[in-house]
Amino acid sequence: MIAEVLVEITNSNVDKTFDYNVPDKFINDIKVGIRVEVPFGKRIVNGFVLAVKKCSDLDDLKDISNIIDKEIVLTDELLELGKIVRDKTLATLISCYQVMLPKALKAHVGVQINKKYDYFYKVNGDIGNLKLNDKQKEIIELCKDDFVLKSELVKISVSSFNTLLRKGVLTEERREHYRLNYNDANRVIHKLTPKQKEIYEEIIGYKDLKPSLIYGVTGSGKTEIYMELIDYYLKKGKTALLLVPEISLTTQLINRFVDRFGNKIAALHSALSDGERYDEYRRIQNGEATIVIGARSAVFAPLERIGIIIVDEEHTDSYKQSESNPRYNAKEIAIIRGEMHKCKVVFGSATPSLESMARAKKGVFHLLSLMERVNGKELPEVKIIDMNKEIRRTRGHFSLELVNAIREKVALGEQVILLLNRRGYASFVTCKNCGHAFKCPNCDISLTYHKSSNTMRCHYCGYADKKPFVCPECHEKSINDLGVGTQRIEEELEKLVDAKVLRMDYDTTSRKGAHEKMINAFKNHEYDILLGTQMVSKGLDFPLVTLVGVINADTSLNIPDYNSAFNTFSLLNQVSGRAGRSKKSGIVYIQTFNKDHYAIKYASENNYLYFYEEEMRIRRLLKYPPYYYLCYIRISGKDNNLVNNEANKIKRSLDRNISDIILGPSPSILYKINNIYRYSIIIKYKNIDSIKDILIKINDHYKTNNNIKIEIDFNPLHIM
Ligand code: ADP
Ligand code: ZN
């Protein structure tokens, strides 16, 4: 018997299966989809069995050294999905499989994550004529009828317990113990409003299998509709998958689902330990969890009989894997899995991506609109504060108007959310005299100032240096940390307003559980103001929040990225939606230097559809998505000249082979990272078939080149 094994070899682009002989002792255990250990060169490596067959074209095969799994890791569906992902991204097949699996099930040597067990004991029946002391009798009394947890028995006496065990009086039973526990369902169910019900019924009754897009303003009760839909399919014996952006995978959302569905839920997110993730994954595999809530990679959760796949906040960047291969988009996979399972696929957003809205308008998606909030309240009123005029009256970064509004709300016992828009290159260090900007020597990007350690740091490679007193260029003592961090805003705020401020950003939430604690503390009104980065913009639902302030709406507009207007609009819309979600109306203040920019203007009018029209007009003019698809090619390496030359060669080869629009090569926006030089080529195309063959050729050509690295990203969300 022969097994075809796909191996993971680090730092190599070997991407094919190798035949191995299956020794007799493994014949019964070998299966497609399990992991095995095999000799490769002088090493032993891990790999996935992709096929089992009678004979091989090759002689002299090596033996499989070991079998790792009893149960299948890659089901038939995952095996097929992996191939689809490879075809869509041109990544290696092994990387496509690895990305689907929790660390404990990836094919990596040296990763050992074990199941946890509880040990239970029960009397063996036959005590015979053993002489027992009092403690031993007590133990026997406790577990004579039923299995009892070890910790209960040793509480009585460890030595007596051990004696009984040694003499064979107790039978042991091992039961798996999952690391995470969910509360029981409280069956908290809201009766849907007539409008919610209409959408729910429309989706269920819709016979066509095309995806539905729920365009529903913030607070319109989309999440409640998702729960009702999930319930419906669960009752039909199906399972459900809900994708959410990592950022909104807060306890708030999970708690809502747990309240309703209890331990039918499995939640997959980055705050889980590897062990917890492994357990959650197996609860899905063995059918104990029938609802999966998770971020991007949860789209590969090994659910069977899927009845519905929901992608919430479908416009968010986080569904696209941008940083590493395979550069897949979970929304695309959701649609593909939907076709495989013949199930419902539902996208939802208050600001649908242009791609999805354009599809909906063309009838490719089934469009459902929900324009009213559940509480019957209007969306919050939004006031724009023109910082160009305000600048002389401002207190640091706060306009007088915003400060007054904050004071007023705090005095009324209401709560405030303040957003510091940190997208882009915020707190860089410069010389006020000569304009010298401090950049990372490895990465050529601005260093960020960290006040607590008085250092300047590179966010890409970790390079750090003390902030100097004098400028190395002009020797003046005029070093300035431009831009702002949340810490600095917090200090300003505390001088301006007598209130309790809770700061939520990357630094304060990095410890496990910190995020959850903060949210609960704010909900319990231990604080008046929640100040934070993008983290405070999504998914949060605090009834006492009546004021939202955006300190700097503009930073995200200045990013050189075709999505920057959309991202700004959507961020402002999301964060505004945190205000006035309960009985009292909300108000929003947006501080900006660009009050006439259409993204800011339409955000202040809560007018998604006008924004959509304007943005589509610009996209069409500039030949951007959704009018054209983009393909981004990054060419990188240590030798600047060599990289430049190869980039030009690639461009010429593209010119010869395709007639689509080709831009570049040009130095990437992040030109030098960690001493690696990067160039980009962008293709704007209409039809993937016209460019795929040549891209595959280029990709293969450089696979074995150690000096040049090629990365291809189809439909990138950022061009860096
Ligand atoms: P969205 O996901 O569109 O922002 P949510 O589903 O979070 O909206 O609903 C907003 C608020 O309204 C939540 O606090 C939710 O519990 C409440 N809510 C939603 N639907 C109902 C309903 N039918 N009855 C009562 N409360 C509801
Ligand atoms: Zn750096």
Q: How many CB atoms lie within 10 A of CB 660?
A: 16
Which residue's CA is the nearest one to ligand 1's atom 6?
Answer: 221
pTM for the whole structure: 0.86
Which residue's CA is the nearest one to ligand 1's atom 5?
Answer: 221
Which residue's CA is the nearest one to ligand 1's atom 20?
Answer: 221
Q: In what order do the strands lie in the sheet with 529-532?
A: 381-386, 587-592, 545-550, 415-419, 529-532, 501-504
What value does the mean pLDDT of the chain take? 88
* Residue in 329, 318, 213 with CA at minimum distance from that of residue 537: 318
Q: Decide if pLDDT at 249 tops 70.
A: no
DSSP structure class, residue 453: T
> At 26, which helix (H) or strand (E)?
none
CA of 672 to the centre of ligand 2 (A): 8
Ligand nearest to the CA of 195: 1
Q: Relative to the CA of 541, which ligand 1 atom is closest? A: 14
Which residue's CA is the nearest one to ligand 1's atom 17?
Answer: 221
For residues 175-191, give the mean pLDDT.
Answer: 77
What pLDDT score was predicted for residue 613? 97
Q: pLDDT band at 468, cuts 50/70/90?
A: confident
Ligand nearest to the CA of 444: 2
CA of 357 to the centre of ligand 1 (A): 23
- The answer to whether the beta carbons of residues 550 and 599 sit under 8 Å apart is no
What pLDDT score was predicted for residue 210? 94
* Residue in 36, 26, 227 with CA at minimum distance from that of residue 17: 36
pLDDT above 90: percentage of residues in the chain: 52
Please give the residue that has the higher pLDDT: either 390 or 682.
682
Distance CA 401, CA 446 (A): 32
Distance CA 419, CA 545 (A): 13
CA of 434 to the centre of ligand 2 (A): 23
Ligand nearest to the CA of 225: 1
Lowest mean pLDDT among 71-75, 79-83, 126-130, 192-196: 126-130
CA of 262 to the centre of ligand 1 (A): 19
Distance CA 675, CA 571 (A): 34
CA of 96 to the centre of ligand 1 (A): 37
Give long-range contacts, CB 8 A cutoff, 24+ apart: 690-696. Answer: 690/658, 690/659, 690/660, 691/631, 691/658, 691/660, 693/657, 694/653, 694/654, 694/657, 694/658, 695/90, 695/631, 695/633, 696/90
Phi, psi of 351 (to 5 degrees): -135, 75
For residues 296-319, give the mean pLDDT.
Answer: 95
CA of 252 to the centre of ligand 1 (A): 12
Ligand nearest to the CA of 545: 1
What pLDDT score was predicted for residue 553? 85
Q: What sign does the CA torsion over 392, 393, 395, 400 have?
A: negative
Pocket test for ligand 1, best of 374, 573, 574 (most atoms within 8 A of CB): 374
Distance CA 152, CA 626 (A): 63
Q: Decide if pLDDT at 261 tops 90.
A: yes
Ligand nearest to the CA of 459: 2
CA of 158 to the centre of ligand 1 (A): 53
**Beta carbons within 8 Å of 9's beta carbon, 6+ residues apart:** 40, 45
**Burial of 186: CB neighbours in 10 Å, binned 0-12, 13-18, 19+:** exposed
Q: Are strands 2-7 and 455-457 parallel, antiparallel or unpaired?
A: unpaired
Which residue's CA is the nearest one to ligand 1's atom 26?
Answer: 190
Ligand nearest to the CA of 523: 1
Q: Which residues line ligand 1 (CB under 6 A)?
A: 190-193, 196, 216, 218-224, 374, 541, 581
Q: Relative to the CA of 223, which ligand 1 atom is closest? A: 6
CA of 569 to the centre of ligand 1 (A): 23
**Neighbouring-strand partners of residue 431:** 479
Q: pLDDT band at 426, cuts 50/70/90?
A: very low
Pocket test for ligand 1, best of 191, 215, 224 (most atoms within 8 A of CB): 224
DSSP structure class, residue 461: T
Each residue of 632-673: pLDDT tens digit?
999 999 999 999 999 999 999 999 999 999 988 888 877 888
What pLDDT score was predicted for residue 483? 58
Q: pLDDT band at 579, cuts 50/70/90?
A: confident
Tokens of 260: 């309703």
What pLDDT score was predicted for residue 424? 40
Distance of CA 579 to CAs 410, 523, 574, 600, Å? 14, 14, 10, 18
Which residue's CA is the nearest one to ligand 1's atom 14?
Answer: 541
Q: Decide if pLDDT at 425 tops 50.
A: no
Pocket test for ligand 1, best of 197, 222, 223, 257 (most atoms within 8 A of CB): 223
Sequence letter at residue 260 = R
Q: Relative to the CA of 226, which ligand 1 atom is closest? A: 6
Q: What sign does the CA torsion over 708, 709, 710, 713 have?
A: negative
**Burial of 537: CB neighbours in 10 Å, binned 0-12, 13-18, 19+:** buried
Each residue of 540-573: pLDDT tens digit?
889 999 999 999 887 777 666 788 899 999 999 9
CA of 299 to the centre of ligand 2 (A): 33
Q: Relative to the CA of 220, which ligand 1 atom is closest? A: 3
What pLDDT score was predicted for residue 501? 94
Q: Relative to the CA of 196, which ligand 1 atom is closest? A: 23
Q: Relative to the CA of 375, which ligand 1 atom is closest? A: 12
CA of 714 to the centre of ligand 2 (A): 26
> At 86, which helix (H) or strand (E)?
helix 76-89
For residues 53-80, give the mean pLDDT.
Answer: 91
Q: pLDDT band at 427, cuts 50/70/90?
A: low
Q: How many CB atoms lie within 10 A of CB 23?
A: 12
* Residue in 532, 541, 534 with CA at minimum distance from that of residue 503: 532
What pLDDT score was predicted for residue 444? 66
Please give the residue that has the higher pLDDT: either 108 or 366.
366
CA of 196 to the centre of ligand 1 (A): 10
Which residue's CA is the nearest one to ligand 1's atom 10?
Answer: 219
CA of 492 to the centre of ligand 2 (A): 30
CA of 51 to the centre of ligand 1 (A): 49
